[in-house]
Amino acid sequence: MDNSVPRHTAIIMDGNGRWAAKRGLPRTAGHAKGAETFRKIASECKNLGVEHLTVYAFSTENWKRPEAEVSAIIGLLRKYLLESIEKMEKDGIRLKLLGDLSVLTPELADLARQTDELSSRITGMQANVCFNYGGRGEILRAVGRLRDNGGELTEQAFSDCLYTAGIPDPDLVIRTAGEKRLSGFLLWQASYAELVFTDKLWPDFSVKDLRGAFEEYQSRKRRFGGI
């Protein structure tokens, strides 16, 4: 890979449930396998020089899913936070949760605080995990914060009120499992992102698939409204 890898890669990790169903397994098994894939892809992104990796882990709509599935996803988040606290400095991957985190249990909120503190002390790729996140809700929250601040309405001022304040807009958005929509993911930030869709279910998404998406990105001509 050359130096034109996307500075900020965002991924909608779709297809965990379908992966499990194809194998006669509970949906929770698909989420566990998907978590393994995330670790592998995050490591490869770091190796390739990506500065930010943002993944859609749990949307505000996902609370409608069966309680056992939701509990399993939250359990995986807890496990990943614990692992990150232990390995973050060695791996050189910072971690930040993005979304409405008011729903976190006291334990998870404390783990998120610890990862923030550790991240501030190390350098390396930043992995942004969107949890209890919805793009429309994020925009409404930003409008409220901007109104409360009483400042001038500019694109930069608005961006500074988003969950992603201080993070560059994504250059590339990848969605797995054959769906071709954003589903509320980074609606403001992805205005000029290149979109790559793949039929691969997220647990089956490989390093080779990631490199293929990057090659597709590198073949695009990004004009940002110009000629």
What does the alpha-carbon distance between residue 104 and residue 112 come to, in Å, rounded to a whole number?
A: 9
Question: In 3-state terms, what secondary structure has residue 96?
Answer: strand
Both tokens of residue 22? 């194809």
Closest C-alpha among 17, 95, 106 to residue 54 = 95
Cβ 73 vs Cβ 62: under 8 Å: yes
Q: How far is CA 116 from CA 94, 105, 112, in A?
A: 8, 16, 6
Active site residues per annotation: 14, 62
Count, in order, helices (H) and strands (E) of the chain. Answer: 7, 6
Burial pattern 38-50, b for ≥16 Cβ within 10 A else e, equals beebbebbbebeb
